[in-house]
Structure 1
């Protein structure tokens, strides 16, 4: 279990996910505004919830301090894990938003970021 937790902490680290999530979350308001008349109400609601979760995830990353005690880091990791699971339940962000991202940033069918070099045989959740 400690090895799995360490792997998850690395995959969910600020260095790995924060820059892309920050960029993606910044694109949601314009996307929803520009496509409001084209989107079903249920899709618009889904994208709003995805945006709120991504914003929450970014806020958790932004709270991070180098001087944080291990207990604070553990609490932050658990909070991130919970938010990521909620994000996974909502599915993939709109392709118009993530399609513009840097090469290599992809999401799986469950809406979770694909980590380069991690084959499909490796399921973390």
Structure 2
């Protein structure tokens, strides 16, 4: 039976890491990650493969997170998400408890800060310092909980 859809960013990361682990268990030597068509994914897998041999799990996870939070992957979805918040906030200000509105406003602020980092970054891949800041901001975003259900449903129907 299929499991329930992950409810939090942390669960999604865990699910992704499990899928990566499963695929690496099934892959054949010499390179368990060699058959990816997407160049960015192939590069990430190559780096992951190199890190797996070092025993530096924190480094592996940090590298994977930096790749997953890259400008190339996140900028457009975050722009779309940021574009939906102002109208939703205005339409729901009197309907949603103030405590929740504070969290949703903070989410929008975090998204805008991430987008500003991506806008300032001259390349497709932000610097290591910028990537670390994006990771911190995504953690703060996760701490705020999920985006409003209506926005989430528009962006990811069925999630």
- What TM bracket, shorter-length normalisation? 0.7 to 0.9
Give the Å deviation of 1:15. Answer: 1.3
Q: Which runs of 5+ in 2 are unaligned?
A: 1-55
- TM-score of the pair, normalised by structure 1: 0.73
Of 107, 122, 125, the residue aligned with 1:65 is 122
Instruction: Tell which structure's C-alpha radius of gyration is larger.
Output: 2
Give the Å deviation of 1:57. Answer: 0.9
TM-align CA RMSD = 2.1
1:101 matched to which residue of 2? 155
Contact kept, 8 Å, 2:66 with 2:132, in 1: the verdict is: no
1:10-49 Cα distance to aligned partner (Å, 9 max, x none): 1010111111111111111100101111111111111111
Q: Distance in 2 between matches of 1:6 and 1:103?
A: 29
Of 74, 79, 85, the residue aligned with 1:28 is 85
Q: Which runs of 5+ in 1 are unaligned?
A: 107-125
1:6 aligns with 2:50: no
Of 78, 93, 104, the residue aligned with 2:132 is 78
Q: Paired residues, what number?
A: 102
